[in-house]
Amino acid sequence: MTTTSTSKQNPFRPLVLDVAVPVGSYYLFREAFGMSTFAALAWSSVVPAGRTVWCAIRERKANGLAGLILVVNVVSLLLSFVSGDPRLMLAKDSAVSSTVGIGILVSVVLGRPMMTAALQPFLVKADAAKQAAWERLLGGTAFSSASADFRRAERVFSVVWGVVLLAECVARIVGAYTVPVDTMVWLGSVVMVGAMVLGMVVGGALGAGPMQRMIAVEVEAGAEAGVEAEEAVKAGVAVAA
């Protein structure tokens, strides 16, 4: 369970540090600075490697997304020694999406949805009442009866992103071997952006949106329970007097 200090982070910090920075830096090094694929992968691995080691030392736990991106980069480094076929190189670019997608789906099966770490700060927004409601809903101690629905929506959010990323991977592999190389160079980025938008829209509608509404209801229920408890204490004091 994430502590209150985590809720005070920038809502997008986990996604930015664990996914956007390494993936974005890879394309920056390769396209803007003209580095080789091997060099771009190597330098873009610095942040996820540092994040993984930092979490292991300071928090004594594994950083799922950072570790996954690091594994993908290492595998891609090894694959960069394979054939220089441009279509193979285009297909290889989908390795990040497929590996992250599979990792997310496996995390759901194991009962620890990987996308929850990125979603929680966004929904809680450093609000103590929302943080408490989040913890009650996930822990099954909610004042409302929404805990099961909340955990189901939590799983759905990760499943949506896992499926979207795998679909993006398939689309880019098919395109790599059926679309002209010059076209696929820019079309691959369009497919990636489209997948991100689809993940946000569908994930928001089926997962994040319902969770946000349940948190609001739970905050209200918690406030009412607090008022009732306070009135009961006052009534007890009056009777004793």
Cα 170 to its chain centre, rounded Å, is 20
Residue ranges per structural domain of the chain: 1-82, 83-241
Give 33-45 pLDDT, tens digit per residue. Answer: 888 766 776 677 6
Name the H helices within the chain. Answer: 4-7, 13-15, 21-27, 37-44, 46-54, 64-79, 86-92, 95-109, 116-124, 128-139, 147-178, 181-203, 209-240
Which range, of 93-102, 103-112, 228-237, averages the lowest pLDDT? 228-237
pLDDT band at 11 (very low <50, low <70, confident <90, very high): very low
Nearest CA-CA partner of 157 in 115, 106, 112, 110: 115
Round the CA-based radius of gyration of the chain to a whole number and report it: 22
